[in-house]
């Protein structure tokens, strides 16, 4: 949808092949608002049954997995126990913990699913996650210099990030980040680079670090001390199973999150572009800065429905089981306004993520317009 220049209806959004005026952007925003209101007004018992059934399934799988690992000296028991525990951890982090902490289930009034008190099976304290992710990332999605999830402080994921020789190694340490993803998430909010620049006090840094280490001790104590010790002579098998489950969860979380934000067509934005940003413009940024993954119902649940990353960024507090319902409507609205709706199979999307990582490890051929550190 292209617009003619109008003094009373100026163009406020431009991308290759599409220009939108103020009135068009506002109309787009109203359509997205109306879609949200329609779904949120329809929430009810069916949604409640979904999340409670999922929680029971996850807890049952964890209990069965840990029980089988106590018999881990038998290879079939170890494999089954590790697989069940891995799936349990993925479900708890992705479809339960992440979404509960987005306040998707606060409307139920269930203390076990309350965003203000929920604590997930992860080394990152819930309080700090909600700041770095719910506030910083979802407010400033893909804004270089504001959204610290762009590269997580160690990777170059945008042309607008100033290149330095350390980035030559990012195709390799990308896999280190993937393997240790929960640890990267845990220490992400410390903002060490801001401490070194004097933009954040060392006292604040120490206070945050104490909370992180308290959570780390809890997680490490549970998976690598308590349960192995309870297994007695079978401790090595329990320890190995827990470590494998955590690694599997880390790799899967990394895969889904990177494919949701850093595919070839996921757009980046400058700080100047979000000055005086309207709600409609914010919606546009969420749409164009996110990527969807295509698959079946089980795949969507295992991804925490972050396979619907576009819908999640448009509606972060909408119960995730509703994203599949709104996705076709969001796509139709986007196409009507001439906007790219970025969606593809996991293998294709991840291929473009790796392409982006490898390409941006090298210096840019053109000088960035708004280079940041």
pLDDT digits (tens, 9 = 90+) for 188-237: 888 888 888 888 898 999 999 999 999 999 999 999 999 999 999 999 99
The answer, as to whether pTM is greater than 0.85, is yes
**Any domain includes 369:** no
12: helix, coil or strand? strand
pLDDT band with cut points at 50, 70 and 90 for residue 367: low
Local structure of residue 225 (DSSP, 8 states): I
Instruction: Examine residue 128 and state whether it is found in any structural domain, yes or no.
Output: yes
Average of pLDDT values for 10-28? Answer: 92
Q: CA-CA distances (angstroms) from residue 116 to 214, 319, 330?
A: 19, 16, 30
- Count how many domains the chain has: 1
Q: Is residue 371 part of a domain?
A: no
CB burial of residue 71 (10 Å; 0-12, 13-18, 19+): middle
The boundaries of the domain holding residue 101 are: 11-360
Place of tokens 């089981």: 321
3-class state of residue 26 by DSSP: helix
Is the model's pLDDT at 246 over the cut of 60? yes
Specify if 130 maps to a domain: yes
Residue 181 lies in a domain: yes
Q: Does residue 48 belong to any structural domain of this protein?
A: yes
Asked if the structure places residue 356 within a domain, the reply is yes
pLDDT exceeds cutoff 90 at 153: no
pLDDT of residue 198: 86
Residues 174 and 258 sit within 8 Å (Cβ to Cβ): no
Share of the chain above pLDDT 70, in %: 96
Residue 235 belongs to a domain: yes
Write the pLDDT tens digit of every residue in 174-186. 999 999 999 998 9
Interval 45-60: pLDDT, tens? 999 999 999 999 999 9
């Amino acid at each position: 949808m292209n617009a003619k220049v109008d003094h009373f209806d100026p163009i406020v959004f431009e991308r290759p092949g599409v220009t939108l005026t103020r009135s068009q952007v506002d109309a787009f925003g109203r359509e997205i608002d109306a879609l949200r209101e329609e779904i949120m007004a329809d929430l009810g018992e069916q949604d409640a049954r979904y999340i409670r059934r999922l929680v029971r399934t996850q807890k049952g799988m964890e209990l069965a997995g840990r029980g089988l690992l106590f018999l881990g000296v038998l290879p079939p028991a170890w494999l089954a126990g590790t697989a069940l525990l891995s799936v349990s951890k993925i479900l708890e982090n992705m479809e339960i913990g992440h979404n509960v902490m987005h306040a998707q289930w606060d409307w139920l009034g269930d203390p076990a699913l309350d965003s203000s008190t929920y604590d997930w099976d992860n080394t990152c304290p819930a309080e700090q996650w909600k700041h770095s992710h719910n506030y910083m990332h979802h407010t400033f999605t893909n804004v270089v210099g504001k959204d610290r999830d762009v590269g997580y402080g160690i990777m170059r994921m945008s042309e607008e990030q100033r290149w330095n020789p350390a980035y030559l190694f990012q195709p390799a340490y990308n896999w280190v980040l993937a393997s240790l993803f929960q640890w990267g998430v845990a220490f992400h909010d410390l903002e060490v680079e801001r401490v070194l620049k004097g933009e954040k006090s060392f006292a604040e840094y120490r206070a945050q670090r104490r909370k992180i280490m308290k959570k780390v001790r809890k997680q490490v104590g549970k998976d690598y001390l308590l349960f192995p010790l309870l297994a007695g002579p079978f401790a090595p098998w329990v320890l190995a199973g827990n470590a494998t489950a955590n690694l599997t969860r880390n790799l899967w979380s990394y895969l889904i999150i990177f494919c949701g934000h850093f595919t070839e067509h996921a757009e980046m934005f400058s700080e100047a572009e979000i000055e005086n940003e309207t709600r409609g413009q914010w919606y546009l940024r969420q749409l164009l800065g996110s990527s969807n993954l295509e698959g079946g119902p089980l795949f969507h649940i295992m991804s925490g429905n972050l396979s619907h990353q576009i819908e999640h960024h448009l509606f972060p507090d909408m119960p995730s089981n509703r994203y599949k319902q709104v996705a076709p409507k969001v796509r139709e609205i986007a196409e009507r306004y001439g906007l790219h709706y970025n969606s593809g199979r996991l293998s294709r999307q991840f291929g473009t993520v790796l392409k982006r990582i490898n390409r941006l490890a090298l210096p840019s051929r053109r000088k960035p317009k708004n280079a940041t550190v």
